[in-house]
Amino acid sequence: MIRIVLPYHLRTLARVDGEVAVAVEGPITQRSVLDALEAGYPMLRGTIREHVTLRRRPFVRFFACEQDLSHEPADALLPDAVAKGAEPFLVVGATAGG
Amino acid sequence: MSRVRVLVGTRKGAFVLESDGKRERWDVSGPYFGGWEIYHLKGSPADPDRVYASQCSGWFGQLIQRSSDGGKTWEPVGNQFTYEGVPGTHQWYDGTPHPWDFKRVWHLEPSLTDPDIVLAGIEDAALFRSTDGGTTWQELAGLRGHGSGPAWTPGAGGMCLHTIIQDPRNPNRMFVAISAAGAFRTADGGKSWQPINRGLRSQHIPDPTAEVGHCVHRIAMHPTRPNVLFMQKHWDVMRSDDSGDSWHEVSGNLPTDFGFPIDVHAHEPETVYVIPIKSDSEHYPPDAKLRVYRSRSGGNEWEPLTKGLPQRDCYVNVLRDAMATDSLDACGVYFGTTGGQVYASADAGDNWNAIVRDLPPVLSLEVQTLA
């Protein structure tokens, strides 16, 4: 299972506490993980990636294993630790405010 | 005994305020969707328990929420607003072509007869309709496809379709308004549209009497007289007696004719309310006094309503979708401010009280009169 940490507002929207675990078949990539997440929690469609283009929304970031993976290709393999469930894939709202 | 439910959208969540018909004591519930911008909530005239809400954030985009119990519980429904066909371009602030790009839903207008049908006015300006309770949305593309579409430009707040009025006598006829394109009317259920801006005069556009390009802030109609429309434009309060074919100014003795909301008394079609704002450069009340102005003659002669409203040091604004009336025998009038106050009058504006004072900035306010 792939572990995913969602930001507060998306946990509230999806009505989950703590991490989300999803089963992913095939290569473990941003695209396959997010596809599985949205299949299990359809209310998240359009909130992390835009509809149709599936581009990451501008103020959303993807972190894992202390790396910023936001600008990696959607089909690039995620770190082994994420694929093995040792580390979570973090969906983060970009820091902004004032 | 009748009850009143006030639906308030704010910068940081939605609030539901309820009272009995006396409108003296109010229960405040919320925030719902705390931390999210709630541009608008509105209940279905056909089923008052059905309420729709537009929820959005700069981080996570647009959501539509639906309640089937009058706002107590909610479920997210469809949030995909995809323009019909190739979106094309409109005019950007600098005059260059700019691709049409969905940003948010400004206004939700449930059908007068079917709780599963709801219209959505969006930014960049377009009109969408759902016939399945908000699960899926389809563009009524004839509006954006009107020949003038490529020339539409955004106002300072974005190019938003903010006003949707359904003619209760003719389900095929609707009116919409767009900042800053103007007002439009359909007679065929939204397939085709015509601009209805003759008589408007806007000094901030190259041709002050152009067919489109006017920054209409709000339009109001009394349901018994669907051919009479009142408009708060960027500057000027206007009136049409021919369904928008022509407009004439009725600003009369207002201290300033800039403002955002406009509304009509529930039982007196010639009684109209506006809230004058100092100017387009200074979005607060003139003389720091918050005054609602009422005309009982359909415009031109206006009286200030001040009892219970702050008459010194007041620098709030009242946004275009933030005023509404109830339909009790003694018509109630309500508005919310950017300072987070919601004011109510249970006597058509003669006396005002703050129902609640310290909400986040109010973006919208709607009222349901419940049996």
Q: pLDDT exceeding 70 applies to what percent of chain B?
A: 100
| The pLDDT of residue B290 | 98
Determine the Cα–Cα distance for residues A52 and A41; give it in Å rounded to an integer: 17
| The pLDDT of residue B164 | 98
- CA B367 from chain centre, in angstroms, equals 12
Alpha-carbon torsion (B107, B111, B112, B114), positive or negative: negative
pLDDT in tens, B302-312: 999 999 999 99
Q: Report the Cα–Cα distance between both ends of chain A, in Å, rounded.
A: 38
A interface mutation test: which of B60, B86, B137 has the most A CBs within 10 A?
B60
By Cβ distance, the residue of B58, B60, B82 closest to A10 is B60
Determine the Cα–Cα distance for residues A96 and B77; give it in Å rounded to an integer: 28
Residue-by-residue pLDDT tens, chain B, 371 positions? 799 999 999 999 999 999 999 999 999 999 999 999 999 999 999 999 999 999 999 999 999 999 999 999 999 999 999 999 988 999 998 889 999 999 999 999 999 999 999 999 999 999 999 999 999 999 999 999 888 999 999 988 899 999 999 999 999 999 999 999 999 999 999 999 999 999 999 998 889 999 999 999 999 999 999 999 999 999 999 999 999 999 999 999 999 999 999 999 999 999 999 999 999 999 999 999 999 999 999 999 999 999 999 999 999 999 999 999 999 999 999 999 999 999 999 999 999 999 999 999 999 999 999 98
Residues of A with CB below 8 A from B61's CB? 46-47, 50, 57
Determine the Cα–Cα distance for residues A59 and B161; give it in Å rounded to an integer: 25
Tell whether B343 is covered by a domain: no
pLDDT in tens, A55-72: 999 999 999 999 999 999
- Per-residue pLDDT averaged across A87-94, rounded? 96
pLDDT in tens, A2-40: 999 999 999 999 999 999 999 999 999 999 999 999 999
Q: Which three-class secondary structure string do you get for A41-86?
A: CHHHCCCCECCCCCCECCCEEEEECCEECCCCCCCCECCHHHHCCC
Tell whether B4 is covered by a domain: no
Q: Which domains does chain A have, with CATH numbers?
A: 2-93 (3.10.20.30)
Q: How many angstroms away from the CA of B83 is the closest CA of chain A?
A: 11
Tell whether B20 is covered by a domain: no
Predicted complex ipTM exceeds 0.85: yes
Structural domain span for residue B256? 34-335
B61 touches chain A (CB under 8 A): yes
| The pLDDT of residue A97 | 59
The count of CB pairs under 8 A between chains A and B is 43
What DSSP assignment string belongs to B215-232? Answer: -EEEEEE-TT-TT-EEEE
Q: In the predicted model, what is the mean pLDDT of chain B?
A: 97
Determine the Cα–Cα distance for residues B273 and A97; give it in Å rounded to an integer: 37
pLDDT in tens, B98-150: 999 999 999 999 999 999 999 999 999 999 999 999 999 999 999 998 889 99
Tell whether B144 is covered by a domain: yes
Strand ranges for B241-332 from DSSP E = 248-249, 258-264, 272-277, 292-295, 303-305, 323-325
**pTM as predicted:** 0.97
Tell me if A9 and B35 make a contact (CB, 8 A cut-off).
yes
Tell whether B350 is covered by a domain: no
Which chain B residue is nearest to residue A51, measuring alpha carbons? B80
Compute the 3-state secondary structure of chain A and give helix, strand, coil in percent, each to the nearest 5: 25, 25, 50
Do residues A49 and A34 make contact, with C-beta atoms less than 8 angstroms apart?
yes
B63 touches chain A (CB under 8 A): yes
* Structural domains counted in chain B: 1
Tell whether B1 is covered by a domain: no
- Give the three-class secondary structure for A38: helix
Tell whether B170 is covered by a domain: yes
Tell whether B113 is covered by a domain: yes
- CA B72 from chain centre, in angstroms, equals 23
